[in-house]
Amino acid sequence: MSTPNQDHQPLTTRSWPTAIMHMDADAFFASCEQAIHPELRGRPVITGKERGIVAAASYEAKAKGVERGMRLFEARKVCPDVVMLPSDYETYSLFSVRMFDILRRFSPDVEEYSIDEAFVDLTGLRRSFHGSYEEIAKKAQEAVARELGITVSVGVSLTKVLAKVASKHRKPRGLTMIPGREIHDYLASLPVGKVWGIGPNTAAFLNKFGIGTALQYAQADERFIKGRLSKPFQEIWHELNGRSVYPVVAESRHEYQSISKTRTFTPPSDDEAFVFAQLSKNLENACIRARRHNLAATRLIVFLKQQDFRDAGVEIRLSRPTAFPAELFEPLKEGFGGVYRPKILYRSTGVVLGGLVAEKSVQYTLFDDVTKIEKMARLYTAVDELSERFGKHTVQHGVSLSAKLQAQHEGERGDVAQRKTELFAGENKRQRLGLPVLKIKV
């Protein structure tokens, strides 16, 4: 099979036409726990005790063979001294917000890509900081470590894809610069399947044409790329060649194709009413997010996961776009009845609101009860205002009440994160300050 590669030549001769930084927190959840519990620093720590699997592992735990997704007993087997903690997502979110705020001191263009990583456009800022892009990146890295007590790995290059390559090059605490003239050095030994956006199927396809590394992909003839690959992979090819295609998007994301909510509980249950209550609470949570972004769903997906991790689901097309649970409980019951099986232990439930459209674009049909819909809209506006003032689920549907009254996790795995039990003066279960609880030795 003929090779699609053209003659080897430098990918670009310009070192810094643009400068994009990618910051990736090292073992973020576990690092947050070590930051607020200094006695855990240097020890193998995992989170996810409430789920029964490893959600995140510190580098000390990873060094002993602990991997994400492991069952807790497996983690204990490979690392007997591992410290198992329940996930404290509230605290992790607070650390995330602080990290993004620190990055905005260095550039107004910060894209919050996920809870523990961000892209930052540094282009043109060398004069403002009286230093090189490497010095700016190092200052940002040091600021996060100094103020939050966690470490991050940083990569800087000409594009977002290359910045991702750079940040992954050396972890933890890495700082890698890839100027235009050195791109080929970092792509030469990188498997093409490790490039951000290229999955195993595409990698296998490229391998058939003799493209096994990111450099071979970047140096492939443009006619081959356009003739054999779809637009996303053509864009990645441009990015690997140092041509910025993906801009750093600083605005918060308000456009979603779908919204999903899942809920794991222990011990597992075969109580039909309780499992449906868990599912109903997922629906309410998903609808809250949809209404927050003024979106309505046209499809509803319902799924249940058994104790043996087998799952079943069903998709339902809705008669009209909506984000009101009261309109969705009937199709939810229909979907639940199609997948629920008596005397089977279930460990988690989930819903997906799919086919989202802008609420303002929804048109009424001749068969819609417009007065009823408008009354429902006013009702949920009031519910959302109460939740904003007094906390989420201040008002909720009775069908999901048992999910609220019973602890989500009971027994040995029912530990509660510290932030949920140690409140500041004036706080209550629903109204909280945006601060983590720090455990400081005196």
- One-letter amino acid at 227 equals G
How far apart CA 275 and CA 344 sit, in angstroms, is 11
How far apart CA 304 and CA 313 sit, in angstroms, is 6
How far apart CA 343 and CA 340 sit, in angstroms, is 10
Catalytic residue among 117, 239, 284, 327: 117
- Told to judge if 117 belongs to the known catalytic residues of this protein, a careful annotator would answer yes
- Residue 57: CB atoms within 10 Å: 27
How far apart CA 183 and CA 237 sit, in angstroms, is 13
- DSSP assignment of 243-259: ---S----SPP---SEE
Q: How many CA atoms lie within 13 A of 215 on its CB side?
A: 13
Please give the structure tokens belonging to residue 158: 């000409």
Contact 120, 23 (CB under 8 A): yes
Contact 85, 45 (CB under 8 A): yes
- Residue 177: CB atoms within 10 Å: 22
The residues assigned a catalytic role are 117
